[in-house]
A and B are shown apart, each in its own frame.
Chain A
Amino acid sequence: MRANSAKALVLPLAVLVAFEVWARATHLQSDSLAPPSEIVMALFGAFADLSILTATRDTLFSAFAGLAIGTTIGLAFGIAFGISDTLDRLMEVTVEAIRPIPSIALLPIALIALGFGYRMEIVIVAFACVWPVLILSRAAVRSIEPRLMEVARALRLPSAQRVWKIIIPAALPRIFVAFRLSAGIALIVAVTVEIAINPLGLGAGIMLAQQALRPDLMLAYLVWIGVIGYALNVLLVVAQNRLFGRAALSGDGA
């Protein structure tokens, strides 16, 4: 480990140790806090009985399925709106009316219409993921170098090929940034849906642990969700750099 990253770890570790000492010294009795050592033990316990792994599978399945659907829809509309000014103007009111609805506000309707399970969660995650991709890909398509579009016209490419051969490749680095943004949202929304209603996955694990008066287990789930979120982001950043190299940086800066 490099000296710099080791140094960066000193503060969080010191805080954890201090919290542990304080919790032990004051005989902390709480239904929402637990000393770090107990949280670690609870995390091991949850791995040992596979409960946290099942929950992780459920959450990630819903998050990724919702992300895939939401991104596809967002991308399709984003590119369409980016290409056609008329369509964009016609749809603006509709989009701006639906977009501000917090995805979580759909929960009561989704529960009655779809019931518990993957379906409801996927629909809500998809709804949340559509908008960043739609807005950013629309902007990405609009900011494509005009000369590229001139080339497309000069080559008399049919519109399907123009999208496939010119627009998507040129806008891809920025679209990927939108995808990264959506991936983070997907995980947040999936866990929130589980905390609020859906009895599966990591969010439900948190709720069940809280109601079982197991703050150690509840915080263990929280730590684990943090780890997953971190890993997901690292994975996507690496993928972005591998796939787009320096082009990705220009997308990030936009």
Chain B
Amino acid sequence: MKKALAALAVSMALTGTAFAQAKIQVGCTATSDCASAMIAIDEGIFRKHGLEVEMTPIGINSNIPAAILSNSIQIGGPTSTVFLQAVDGGLDLVAIAGATIMSPVSNGNITAFVRNGITIKEPKDFVGKKVGAPGLNAFLHVLFVKWLVEKGVDPKGVNFVEVTFPTMADIIKSGGVDAVLTAEPFVTRMTNAGLGSVGARYAVELARTDPIIFYAASREWAEKNAAAVKKFRDALAESAAIVNNDREKASNSISKFTKQPIELVKATPPNRSEPALKPEQLSWWIEVMSSQKMLQSKLDTSKLVLK
């Protein structure tokens, strides 16, 4: 009996590592941003290019750099802010391909949603309010602070707290925060439930087209596997077109990976896929994050993206 158990344990451990070596693991959070990789798997595009790719769901985006360095995943989909902070902190990561960029569609999905009983007429009305962000110093928070600064409001006057997406509706309802920085499908769900209204469309007003999420790897892995990176890029060029043009296929793949109900996924257009990534596309983020004192060092964009 003991032997059988030991054998079972060993075989489980071995199959675990064997899989990890044979396939490229791509780690992403449960959003539509890695849709190009999801579709490339589901439509057999990676396989056509000679790659075996599997996706690993990651709970929190800021865990992605550590997951890459431990080689649990070879490629990850960090947000621009997570990636730049990781590199700034000394982790040797490199962007290898684009995933999504901000566009009029994705910017329209992003809002500051305000609970009933609070009125926001102008940006300075946020001063003194308790605002929930899905992650402090993460994508939406950085954008919102940038918007406040552009509107001449001191962000220090706003009380930011962390509120994850799935708990937003309940916390807004209970009055735990005055507003949340959120995105679709949560905006529509909260509006329909009568929990409040849209207080600001800060992403629309910023009107940026910079990267949201891109695919990144450790520099060591990317340089050793240059051929695989090229195939990965070629496959994404094909699958990104499907994400942008075929809502049906995109929604199916996103629903399959995120396990979100298909009706919910279909209700929101996926963020715009953009497989190409140029170093200069990161400079706006570096500038914004530096001005928010999130970066210590001076980052060189040409080293951040693999040629």
Please indicate which of the listed interface residues A32, A196, A208, A211 has the most CB atoms of chain B within 10 Å of its own CB.
A211
| Min distance, Cβ A111 to any Cβ of chain B, angstroms | 5
Q: Which residues of A contact B72 (CB under 8 A)?
A: 111, 115-117
Give bound CA distance, A195 to B58, whole Å.
Answer: 10
Q: Which of A30, A113, A204, A211 contacts B70 (CB 8 A)?
A: A113
| Min distance, Cβ A213 to any Cβ of chain B, angstroms | 6
Q: Which residues of A contact B59 (CB under 8 A)?
A: 195-197, 199, 204, 207, 211
| Min distance, Cβ A105 to any Cβ of chain B, angstroms | 14
Contact A199 B57 (CB under 8 A): yes
Q: Which of B56, B66, B259, B261 contacts A199 (CB 8 A)?
A: B56
Q: Which residues of A contact B66 (CB under 8 A)?
A: 108, 111-112
Is the CB of A114 closer than 8 A to any CB of chain B?
yes
Contact A30 B169 (CB under 8 A): yes
Is the CB of A31 closer than 8 A to any CB of chain B?
yes
Is the CB of A118 closer than 8 A to any CB of chain B?
yes
In the complex, how many residues of chain B place their beta carbon closer than 8 angstroms to a beta carbon of chain A? 34
Is the CB of A29 closer than 8 A to any CB of chain B?
yes
Contact A112 B30 (CB under 8 A): no
Is the CB of A214 closer than 8 A to any CB of chain B?
yes
Is the CB of B16 closer than 8 A to any CB of chain A?
yes
Is the CB of B63 closer than 8 A to any CB of chain A?
yes
Give bound CA distance, A196 to B58, whole Å.
Answer: 10
Contact B170 A33 (CB under 8 A): yes
Interface of A is mostly: helix
| Min distance, Cβ A216 to any Cβ of chain B, angstroms | 11
Q: Which residues of A contact B209 (CB under 8 A)?
A: none
Is the CB of B296 closer than 8 A to any CB of chain A?
no
With A117-B16, A118-B13, A208-B259 already in contact, the answer to whether A111 and B166 are too (CB < 8 A) is no
Give bound CA distance, A195 to B59, whole Å.
Answer: 8
Contact B166 A210 (CB under 8 A): yes
Is the CB of A61 closer than 8 A to any CB of chain B?
yes
Give bound CA distance, A31 to B264, whole Å.
Answer: 13
Give bound CA distance, A207 to B13, whole Å.
Answer: 23
Q: Mark A28-41, 1 if CB is under 8 A from B, else 0.
A: 01111100000000
Contact A29 B169 (CB under 8 A): yes
Q: Which of B160-210 contact A (CB under 8 A)?
A: 164-170, 189, 193
Q: Which residues of B contact A223 (CB under 8 A)?
A: none
| Min distance, Cβ A204 to any Cβ of chain B, angstroms | 7
Contact A197 B63 (CB under 8 A): yes
Give bound CA distance, A108 to B67, whole Å.
Answer: 10
Is the CB of B226 closer than 8 A to any CB of chain A?
no
Contact B63 A212 (CB under 8 A): no
| Min distance, Cβ B27 to any Cβ of chain A, angstroms | 8
With A207-B59, A211-B30 already in contact, the answer to whether A32 and B167 are too (CB < 8 A) is yes
Give bound CA distance, A209 to B259, whole Å.
Answer: 8
Q: Which residues of B contact A213 (CB under 8 A)?
A: 166, 260-261, 264
Is the CB of B137 closer than 8 A to any CB of chain A?
no
Give bound CA distance, A47 to B258, whole Å.
Answer: 19
Contact B169 A31 (CB under 8 A): yes
Contact A31 B167 (CB under 8 A): yes
Give bound CA distance, A61 to B5, whole Å.
Answer: 10
Q: Which of B40-88 contact A (CB under 8 A)?
A: 56-60, 63, 66-67, 69-73
Q: Which of B88-114 contact A (CB under 8 A)?
A: none
Q: Which residues of A contact B69 (CB under 8 A)?
A: 112
Contact A214 B67 (CB under 8 A): no
- 17 A-B pairs in the complex with CB atoms less than 8 angstroms apart: A29-B189, A30-B169, A31-B167, A31-B170, A61-B12, A113-B70, A116-B67, A119-B13, A199-B27, A199-B56, A199-B58, A210-B166, A211-B166, A211-B258, A212-B261, A213-B166, A213-B260
By a beta-carbon cutoff of 8 Å, the part of chain A in contact with chain B is 29-33, 61, 65, 108, 111-119, 195-197, 199, 204, 207-215
Which A-B residue pairs are the 7 nearest by beta carbons?
A115-B70, A116-B72, A212-B259, A115-B72, A211-B30, A31-B166, A111-B66
